[in-house]
Each structure stands twice: as structure tokens, then as C-alpha cells.
Amino acid sequence: MQNKYEKNIQINNKDALIIIDIQNDFIPGGTLAVNEGDLIIDDINNLAKKFKDNKAIIVLTQDWHPKNHLSFASNHEGKKPGDEYISKNGAIGPVLWPDHCVQGTNGAKFHKDLNTQLANKIIQKGIRHKVDSYSGFRDNDKKTETGLRKYLNSKNIQRIFICGLALDYCCYYTAMDGLEFGYEVYFIDRLTRGVDLPEGNINNALSNMKKLGIKFADIDSFR
């Protein structure tokens, strides 16, 4: 699906680059590996440097699950990763995952190639065992926020630019919440990769964002 990219974007101090979940478990070799997830890291670092040089804010999100997290198939008898599952309150689902990004494990650490020194803030999510947090802004039950919105507002941020892993889950839901919370949202799709689970999920996510007015940027969209 071809996207129309914005051009000549001038980064300023009311912008934030939100880098989603560049963690070992999401990189090839990890327990929930996203195909080619490692191939976007260098370009993300280069873009983050450009944001830093233009006085913008850089935020990293980090999945930070307890080992008994109910999004893990291992915590449901007879279930396996990829099985469809939705809790009554929508806090878990639509599928179950392998154990990943467990607090304090190597899999939860940021990938060694990601330049974390450029970050102004790290936001951890998915920390409650009965509720998942795809979005960097809030839990899936939409009741508890992570602190990201409070932080961005404290910095007078107006535009957010989203990249990272995975396109059709954490990146997508962060973009959607950002739009709902009143930010001008840009999605840098070539600096994301998706899991496409269930099949068609990537195209659905891209289509929904376009319909709602989320803008798309490319690596070369910035001055």
C-alpha cells in the first residue's frame, strides 16, 4: 500500500519523536521477533539525532511485563501463541503472545544498536498483569495512562512522530491515542515493521490511520 508522504517538515521544539519498543524480544532472535525489525534501527538513530539537533523531544517506550502477564499464552491453559483471545473488558487480546519483555530480562532491554543516549524520557508500559498496553499513552482498557501525555504536555509538544515496533500494534495504537488526545500525528511507516497477526492487520491499521487524518512521513520528509 503506497502512502503519500509529507515533505519539507521543519523539526522544532514543539515536536516529539516517539520510538516504540526497540527491545531484544522484538528483534530477530527474540521471543516475539518482528521480521526485519533490526533493519530500521540505524535510520531511527539518524532521525533521532536530527530531532535532537533541532531541540525536539525524543521518547522511548518499553514493554515491561510481569512474568504472569495475561497476554502470554503460557498463562492460559491449553492456549498457544497466536491463538485468538479477547478478555471481556478488552484489556487483553485480540491474540495471545509468547512470553516477551519480562521485567528485568535481557529480552526487555533496548537493543544494543539503539542510541538510547539521545532520549529525553523512557515510558514503560504493560506493567499490570491483567491489562496490556499496546499504546505508549495508556493501557488497553483505556483507564490508566502511562504518563506519556502528561510528559508531552509539560514540554508543550504539539506534533508527534511515531516509529518502531510493531507497526500494527504498539505503533498503531500510540498513533491513534495521540490523535484522540489532540496531537498532530505523523506515522513514519518505513521506520516500522509489523507482525500482521491476524493476517491483514497491517493494511487495516494503515487504512484506519489514513481515514482519520494521520499524516505519513518518510526518512526524507525532513529538512
Q: Identify the CATH number of the domain in which residue 214 sits.
A: 3.40.50.850
**Is 170 one of the annotated active-site residues of the chain?**
yes
Q: Does 1 score more than 70 pLDDT?
A: no
In degrees, rounded to 5, the angle at the alpha carbon of residue 153 between the alpha carbons of residues 152 and 156 is: 95
Name the catalytic one among 101, 163, 170, 171.
170
Name the catalytic one among 52, 125, 171, 177.
125
pLDDT value of position 90: 87
Residue 69 within any structural domain of the chain: no
Q: Does 3 score more than 90 pLDDT?
A: no
Low-confidence winner among 52-56, 84-88, 104-108, 146-150 (lowest mean pLDDT): 84-88
Query: What's the number of domains the chain is made of?
Result: 1
Of 49, 51, 72, the closest CA to residue 9 belongs to 51
**Is 125 one of the annotated active-site residues of the chain?**
yes
Residue 101 within any structural domain of the chain: no
Of the chain, the end-to-end C-alpha distance in Å amounts to 25
For 144-183, write each residue's pLDDT tens digit: 999 999 999 999 999 999 999 999 999 999 999 999 999 9
Per cent of the chain over pLDDT 70 is 99
Residue 146 within any structural domain of the chain: yes
Give the pTM: 0.96
Order of strands across the sheet with 159-165?
A: 121-125, 57-63, 15-20, 159-165, 184-193, 215-216
Residue 86 within any structural domain of the chain: no
| 187: phi then psi, degrees, rounded to nearest 5 | -110, 120
Helices 172-180/201-211 angle, 10° precision: 20
Give Cβ neighbours of residue 111 (< 8 Å, ≥ 6 apart). 22, 23, 24, 27, 38, 41
- Provide the 3-class DSSP secondary structure of residue 171: helix
Residue 57 within any structural domain of the chain: yes
pLDDT (mean) for 74-87: 95
Residue 72 within any structural domain of the chain: no
Average pLDDT, the chain: 96
Instruction: Kindly state the DSSP code that residue 55 receives in the 8-state scheme.
Output: T
pLDDT value of position 23: 98
For 34-70, write each residue's pLDDT tens digit: 999 999 999 999 999 999 999 999 999 999 999 999 9
β-strand partners of 19: 60, 163
| 222: phi then psi, degrees, rounded to nearest 5 | -105, 145
Structural domain that includes position 149: 15-63+109-221
Residue 56 within any structural domain of the chain: yes
pLDDT (mean) for 199-216: 96
pLDDT value of position 212: 97
Q: Per-residue b/e over 165-189, b at no fewer than 16 CB within 10 Å? A: bbbbbbbbbbbbbbbebebbbbbbb
Residue 207 within any structural domain of the chain: yes
Of 192, 171, 173, 163, the closest CA to residue 35 belongs to 192
**Is 21 one of the annotated active-site residues of the chain?**
yes
Cell numbers of 150, please? 502528561
The CA-atom distances, in angstroms, between 69 and each of 65, 87, 169, 211 are 6, 13, 17, 33
CA distance 170 to 201: 12
